[in-house]
Chains A and B, each alone.
Chain A
Amino acid sequence: MQVTFPHMGYLNIPVSNMLTNLGVSVIEAPTITKKTIELGSLHSPEGVCLPYKINMGNFLEGIERGADTLVTVCGAGKCRQGFYNSVQKISLSEKTPLQFHTINASENLFINLYGFLRTVAPNASRFSIVENIAIAIKTLKALDALNNAKNYYGARAKNADTIISIYQSGISQLGQCHTFREINKKQAEITAQMQAIATGGANQPAKVGIIGELYLLLEPYVNHNIEDLLIKQGVEVKKFVYTGDWAYSQIILRTLGLYNEETDHLKQARPYLNYHVGGDGLKSVGTALWCTRHHYDGIIHLYPFGCMPEIVAQYALKNIAKDYNIPMLALSIDEHASDVGIITRLEAFIDCLKRKQK
């Protein structure tokens, strides 16, 4: 059994570690490139959204390398993506016999994840499964914190490139850590390195909130490295979707009954959107409102072309932008989106914020 799974930002690091530690043999799909997207698009219906196509590309490239067991997370009912795994299963199994595991996030994620690990690692002890889940979540949270630190210090450093490369090497170093203590130590060490370089004055840089669809926010290749583009121009970036936070609240807090994502966002988005519109639509509106109330200078809305929940959210977002007079840039991305178009709009957006600040 050779397991592979789709990429999403740095998610592959803890997932790979977790599976390998439990004795599962993992074949990681190559990082997303143009080839992944082309391959995925070729084997997908034209009208589906970009995340589906890229997941498909990851699976195909994983299979090319010898994988025969595919794992994906889905949440049926949240948006179309929730049903994509069933379609992918059918279309991929046509070619070669494959095992397809789906971890359902709309039910109890912990139980589902645990159950999945029991199946693929029958020899691992219960304790070591729970322990490895805990370490994976810890690693993800540390990676999130580093990403946050990069976006904070990068905007304040003379040379953001240095911060970005510290961050890049930090990601792989964290992948080598296997205990809570090691992770904490490494995280502190890398953050300190960034902090030492960010000597920018007391000036608060322009602050931008990035909102929108989860996958596009988390996968830098797909969002054209928007975070790095912004911090290189001296703009502080904050995003509100993190895999670690998500996994933590889904797996631990929700299991304990301490957290309910839906009611949380419903409260936040009021009065601009009072209904669940699927996917991350409600959350986009909620966080946009949070940003405006916390005096952000601008909001960037990222979503895959044709994403229904985000298109519904846009109606509310436009009203927020108008009422609060906050610049908002909407970027719809598909496999045809060119770098040039995005860079031009981003540049203009940053100019708009900076001139306003003056």
Chain B
Amino acid sequence: MQAFLGLDVGSVSTNIAVLNMQDQIIDNLYIRTQGRPIDAVQSGLREIKERNPELTIEGVGTTGSGRQLAGIVVGADSIKNEITAHAVAAIHIVPDVQTVIEIGGQDSKLIIIRNGIVTDFTMNTVCAAGTGSFLDQQAARLNIPIEAFGERAIESSASVRVAGRCAVFAESDMIHKQQTGHQIPDILNGLCQALVRNFLNNLGKGKELKGPIIFQGGVAANKGMKRAFEEALNCSVIVPTYHNVMGAIGAALLAKEQMAKLEQATVFHGFDIVDFTYTPRSFACDGCPNICEVIELKMNDQITAMWGDCCGKWSKSMPL
């Protein structure tokens, strides 16, 4: 079957989506990156191949913070930032969407869409307090599996006010609330509300958040966060079925768009790459006082790409 492949290599998770020619999602995968993006891509693709042996890939797109690396590893036709990818996917799933809230492992975004076009966006700059990895940490500290976090939070009917401006202060505030005898569900609910407040203050300032509002990214699985957003915005928030692989869906759609524009065959290296050996290496260039950290990627013992230098001394030496 002909299909487009989208990969979203993020800080916390690596997601893959397979779309058929009618843009329907035929398979998707959500795995943890665990700091090894190349391994995650390889094992993810291996699983996709095992589940769908009949695939013919017509185009591949990558996105997420590991998009460059993943793009070189798999041979991507389009390498796009995660903001565009998330917006494209949201418009695909809910065509009349006007607002996208996306909270991932390390960043959060707010995308404003009007008439199917992104008109504005913001991305958190300073702190990761409201993002998935912080929730992960807090869940671990309270010994609650992250999957159960949301369920526990919505058990609460009385919330506790938690300072959500900064991850460190939020944590000490939560500990303080525990010590004074508040119930865990109430604290979790308070945390959700604090993070939502933080999100809206940081990213939502001066923006008109009109419905339909989509909430996507890994954190959208958290029912406590969804409820807190609905309460704060005073309207319902849609969490799409594939909320945790939306970036990958967007990447696949962008790959399709790119292929239609280029009218040439995909540069995808094929599923064989799951057995290739990739060895990245970094070194400090001593050509000038900038001392750039240059990254060199070897594919089966052959240097395939170099990047990270600001003058192009190394990256331009590669035939691309």
- Among candidates B84, B205, B208, residue contacting A348 with C-beta atoms closer than 8 Å: B84
Give Cα distance in the complex from A356 to B84, angstroms: 12
Q: Which of A29-37, A98-106, A136-144, A200-208 contacts B (4 or more CB under 8 A)?
A: A29-37
A261 within 8 A of B: no
Least Cβ–Cβ distance between A293 and chain B, in angstroms: 18
For A345, the chain B residues whose CB sits under 8 A away are: 81, 83, 123
Q: Is the CB of B81 within 8 A of A332?
A: no
Q: A30-B289, A33-B288, A34-B289 are in contact. Are A352 and B119 (CB under 8 A)?
A: yes
Q: Is the CB of A34 within 8 A of B80?
A: no
B65 within 8 A of A: yes
Least Cβ–Cβ distance between B310 and chain A, in angstroms: 8
Q: A319-B206, A332-B125 are in contact. Are A351 and B84 (CB under 8 A)?
A: yes
Count residues of chain B with CB under 8 A from any CB of chain A. 22
Give Cα distance in the complex from A325 to B310, angstroms: 35
A contacts with B: majority SS: helix
Q: Is the CB of A344 within 8 A of B83?
A: yes
A340 within 8 A of B: yes
A43 within 8 A of B: no
Report how many A-B pairs have Cβ atoms within 8 Å.
61
Q: Is the CB of A347 within 8 A of B117?
A: no
Least Cβ–Cβ distance between B61 and chain A, in angstroms: 13
A322 within 8 A of B: yes
A321 within 8 A of B: yes
Least Cβ–Cβ distance between B289 and chain A, in angstroms: 4
Q: Is the CB of B289 within 8 A of A344?
A: no
A318 within 8 A of B: yes
For B120, the chain A residues whose CB sits under 8 A away are: 321, 327-328, 352
Please name the residue on chain B nearest to A61 by beta carbon.
Answer: B289
For B171, the chain A residues whose CB sits under 8 A away are: none
Q: Is the CB of A344 within 8 A of B82?
A: yes
Least Cβ–Cβ distance between B286 and chain A, in angstroms: 12
Which of A's residues lie within 8 Å of B, judged by CB?
30, 33-36, 318-319, 321-322, 325, 327-328, 332, 339-341, 344-345, 347-349, 351-352, 355-356
- Since A345-B81, A352-B121, A356-B117 are in contact, a sample of 13 more A-B pairs with Cβ atoms closer than 8 Å, ordered by chain A residue number, is A34-B291, A36-B289, A318-B205, A327-B120, A341-B125, A344-B65, A347-B81, A348-B82, A348-B121, A351-B80, A351-B81, A351-B84, A355-B118
Can you list 11 A-B contacts with CB-CB less than 8 angstroms, sorted by A residue number?
Answer: A321-B120, A322-B208, A328-B120, A332-B125, A345-B123, A347-B83, A348-B81, A348-B82, A348-B84, A349-B121, A351-B84
Of all A-B residue pairs in the complex, the 7 with the closest CB atoms, nearest first, are A348-B83, A35-B289, A318-B206, A33-B289, A351-B84, A347-B81, A352-B118
